[in-house]
Amino acid sequence: MSLLAVNPGAYYHLESFESPRYREYFNQLVRPEDLGDVDLQAFDTILIPCRTPANRMIPHAPRLAAFLAQGGTVVATGESRSDLWLPGFRFHAQATNYWWWREAQGDLGIQITNPAHAIFNYLTPESLTWHLHGWFDLAEGADVIASNAEGKPILAIDTVTTRGRMVLTTLDPFYHHGSHFMPATTWFLDGFLPWIASLRSDNGNGV
């Protein structure tokens, strides 16, 4: 598996991509503006991290669509309006409760909708639980892995919209890990990145 990571260059991206904890997972880093200069077919997977400005990715939507059409995998994490540069779904914002754990019997309401999925060989429910910014409307047949309290998807794998695979989440782990707060986000990346590394581009089930 070869992984290309888009690096928008904020401090939390640099900490996540370049520090020793995770840098071994990324075969190449590229600025969004330079994505057009990279041979995408040299990679199995392209990762676009949290809080990548959508205007920096929208020009590359046709190339990402072509990469997916040829069976590639695109991973997009939260707060990047990935619905504006990837096909087949819509993002909906929701009010963010930053202090739910300080409430009596506080519960963010994360629901694991597909507990048998292989991703849970790498993740725990606790590693998906810090706070939420929104949810997705997805294509019928997309594999919803986790949902918010209202049953709306927050982590899913779409292998129906294109010939490739889109791993989509509204969670923003790179931002929080790289900012050195919210320990659950580090737990999430500790499992999520090895799971991505385990994916085979010919296996649409993500196992």
pLDDT of 86-115, one tens digit each?
Answer: 999 999 998 766 665 556 666 678 899 999
Rounded to whole angstroms, the Cα distance separating 156 from 76 reads 10
CA-based max dimension of the chain: 52
pLDDT of residue 69: 98
Asked whether the predicted pLDDT for residue 206 surpasses 50, the reply is: no
Q: What are the structure tokens assigned to 114, written together?
A: 């597909």
Mean pLDDT, all residues of the chain: 92
Asked whether the predicted pLDDT for residue 191 surpasses 50, the reply is: yes
As a whole-number percent, the residues of the chain with pLDDT over 90 amount to 83
112 pairs with which residues across the strands? Answer: 146
Measuring CA to CA, which residue among 143, 161, 162 is closest to residue 153?
143
pTM: 0.93
Domains of the chain, earliest start first: 3-198 (3.40.50.880)
Residue 192 in contact with residue 104, Cβ under 8 Å?
no
Element (H, E) at 93: strand 90-93
